[in-house]
């Protein structure tokens, strides 16, 4: 009986290890799932005294360049967490593009592309929506996890943070955001 139990446990461990062995297996196992958690789209704003410092996130962008939050000192930064597979992300993308173009170089927009296991769909998304700012490619969510315990959920996508000139989180939205709301969030952080 002990041998059968040991053999059964070993078989389960081997099957679990095999199932998690490739990104394609993970992607295939998500078939039929949305992969995102819809937020309310409600803005949470924080008074200057209550703002938390944003982590020093960084990474390689979809166009192969290095991007570091620490290089943005003195700028308002808009961080949008998105995935090409996410319908609400596709819906809000034109508003982000319009807001980034309207605000120009006075605000640094940065995308954080997560859970796209291959950069090709993310690059197609950026091209299709004419996104004028860079996006860090973060398939495993390592940069997103830096925000764990802060004012952003690491499971809700899309999510947006506006970080003030002192590097502190001024506001956030979990869920879709409109251009008008985004412009107001930036104005409040400036």
Q: Tell me, yes or no, whether 83 and 140 share the same domain.
A: yes
Q: What is the pLDDT along the chain (190 residues), one digit of tens a residue?
A: 544 443 333 333 333 332 322 333 333 333 333 333 445 567 889 999 999 999 999 999 999 999 999 999 999 999 999 999 999 999 999 999 999 999 999 999 999 999 999 999 999 999 999 999 999 999 999 998 898 876 555 557 999 999 999 999 999 998 999 999 999 999 999 8
- Verify that 8 and 77 share a domain, yes or no: no
Same domain, 65 and 29: no
Report the greatest alpha carbon distance in the chain. 71
Answer whether residue 75 is part of any domain. Answer: yes
Q: Is 69 helix (H, G, I), strand (E, B) or coil?
A: helix
| 105 and 12 in a common domain | no
| Residue at 118 is within a domain | yes
Residue of 60, 92, 64 whose CA lies nearest to 78: 92
55 and 75 in a single domain? The answer is yes
**26 to each of 13, 31, 68, 153, 158, how far by Cα in Å?**
17, 9, 29, 22, 20
Domain with 11, as residue range(s), is: 1-33
CATH code for the domain in which residue 77 is found:
3.40.30.10
pLDDT of residue 152: 56
- Are 167 and 53 in contact by the 8 Å Cβ rule? The answer is yes
Please indicate, yes or no, whether residues 81 and 109 belong to a single structural domain of this protein.
yes
Residue 149 domain-assigned (yes or no):
yes
**Number of structural domains in the chain:** 2
CA proximity to 160, closest of 133, 178, 140, 141: 178
Does residue 116 share a domain with residue 65? Answer: yes
Does residue 183 share a domain with residue 96?
yes
Euclidean distance between CA atoms 119 and 117, whole angstroms: 7
Is 156 in the same domain as 108?
yes
- Using only the alpha carbons of the chain, give its radius of gyration: 19
Q: Is 38 inside any structural domain?
A: no
Residue 14 lies in a domain: yes
110 and 149, same domain (yes or no): yes
Give this prediction's pTM: 0.77
Residues 134 and 54 both lie in one domain: yes
CA gap 61, 137 in Å, rounded: 5
């Amino acid at each position: 009986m002990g041998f059968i139990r040991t053999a059964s446990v070993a078989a389960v461990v081997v099957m679990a290890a095999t199932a998690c062995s490739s990104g394609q297996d993970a992607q295939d196992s998500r078939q039929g799932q949305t992969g995102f958690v819809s937020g309310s789209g409600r803005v949470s704003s924080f008074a200057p005294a209550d703002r938390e410092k944003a982590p020093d996130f960084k990474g390689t962008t979809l166009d192969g360049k290095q991007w570091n939050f620490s290089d943005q000192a003195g700028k308002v930064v808009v961080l949008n967490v998105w995935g090409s597979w996410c319908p609400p992300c596709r819906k809000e993308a034109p508003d982000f593009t319009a807001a980034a173009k309207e605000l120009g170089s006075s605000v640094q927009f940065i995308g954080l592309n997560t859970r796209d296991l291959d950069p090709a769909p993310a690059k197609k998304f950026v091209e299709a929506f004419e996104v004028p700012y860079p996006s860090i490619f973060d398939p495993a969510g390592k940069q997103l996890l830096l925000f764990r315990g802060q004012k952003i959920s690491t499971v809700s996508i899309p999510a947006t943070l506006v970080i003030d000139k002192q590097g502190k989180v001024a506001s956030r939205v979990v869920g879709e955001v409109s251009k008008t709301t985004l412009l107001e969030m930036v104005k409040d952080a400036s």
